[in-house]
Amino acid sequence: MITIELNGQQQPLPEGSAVSDLLATIGCDGKSVAVVVNEQIIRPDNRSAHLLHEGDKVELLIFAGGG
């Protein structure tokens, strides 16, 4: 297992997990969600190829109401 930081919180994941695996693990369909790994934006077509590593900082962002 590895541990990543997801939106500021610890998240365990099986070794060799890709971004798409993380999204499936937390029940996020990945639509309308921006994925940022270590400050790099991971586009939807690259999410199953981009592997996560110990200590990676992952941010998942969505749109919400705002002025």
Partner 1 sequence: MDSLQLGSYTFSSRLILGTGKFSNATVMLEAVRASGAQLVTIALRRFNREQAEDDLFGPLSAIEGITLMPNTSGASTAAEAVRAAHIARELSGSPFIKVEIHPNPQHLMPDPIETFEAARILAKEGFLVMPYITADPVLAKRLEEVGCASVMPLGSAIGSGQGVATAAMIEIIIRESGIPVIVDAGLRSPSEAAHAMEMGCGAVLVNSAVAVAGNPPEMAEAFAEAVSAGRKAFRAGLMQKSGSAIATSPLTTFLGTY
Residues 5, 11 contacting (CB under 8 angstroms): yes
Q: Residue 1, interface with partner 1 (CB under 8 A)? A: no
User: Residue 31 has which token pair?
Assistant: 């639509």
Closest approach, Cβ 31 to partner 1, in A, equals: 8
Closest approach, Cβ 3 to partner 1, in A, equals: 17
Number of Cβ within 10 Å of residue 65's Cβ equals: 4
Q: Residue 57, interface with partner 1 (CB under 8 A)? A: no
Q: What angle do CA 19, 6, 48 make, to 5 degrees?
A: 0
Binding residues for partner 1, per CB under 8 A? 7-8, 26-28, 31-34, 36, 39, 41, 43, 59-67
